[in-house]
Amino acid sequence: MNDDRPAATQADLPAIRERWVGVEFDVATFEMEPGRMVAWATACGDTDPRFIDPTHPDFQAYPNFTSHCTTHRVLPDEFPKIGPGFGIDGGKTVDCLGPIRAGDVLTGAATIADIYDKTGRSGTMVFIVQRMTYHNQRGEHVSTVDWKMIRQL
């Protein structure tokens, strides 16, 4: 989707932070498919049957499997344009709070947890931290993922 709005500048960041940090902006559901769970663990080179054998009594999703379960909107529709494109992935923090089983249906809620800027080898960067919290169909909080999106100013 083209975004013709003018890009935010460094001077806009305090107001953007004030407006958006703490805002929950999207919710989605994700069904845990055993085929994808196995493929993920296998691709990462794991051989532990807990993660690659659906018949194992403790079969569960890989600890960072929820990292790809993002809501349709990466940022709120009204969120200011910061830098070109989607930016790059600056890191992931995953809290593994309980096992995620095949067939579970997770509800993930997206919140903007932090916004800050810093300089690095590649220039001035804005870090937007998106926090996803995941609850299973029994209401149990099973995972939290903090995703640091880096946008270039």
Work out whether 116 is an interface residue with another protein (CB under 8 A).
Answer: yes
Tracing tokens 């926090």 back to the chain, one arrives at: 131
Nearer to another protein, 78 or 136 (CB): 136
Work out whether 124 is an interface residue with another protein (CB under 8 A).
Answer: yes
Nearer to another protein, 112 or 125 (CB): 125
Given candidates 3, 12, 24, 89, which one binds another protein under the rule CB under 8 A?
Answer: 89
Nearer to another protein, 8 or 78 (CB): 8
d(CA 86, CA 93): 19
CB of 50 to another protein, least distance (A): 8
Can you give 112-129 as a three-state secondary structure string? EEEEEEEEECCEEEEEEE
One character per residue 49-78, x = contact with another protein (rule: CB under 8 A)? --x----------xxx--xx----------
Nearest to 111 by CA among 134, 137, 90, 89: 134
Work out whether 1 is an interface residue with another protein (CB under 8 A).
Answer: no
Given candidates 16, 28, 74, 94, which one binds another protein under the rule CB under 8 A?
Answer: 94
How far from 49 is each of 40, 46, 66, 112, 139, CA to CA, in Å? 13, 9, 19, 36, 27
CB of 78 to another protein, least distance (A): 25
21-47: burial string, b at 16+ Cβ within 10 Å, e else:
eeeebbeeebebeeeebbebbeeeeee
Q: Which residues bind another protein (CB under 8 A)?
A: 10, 36-37, 39-48, 51, 62-64, 67-68, 88-96, 116-125, 127, 148
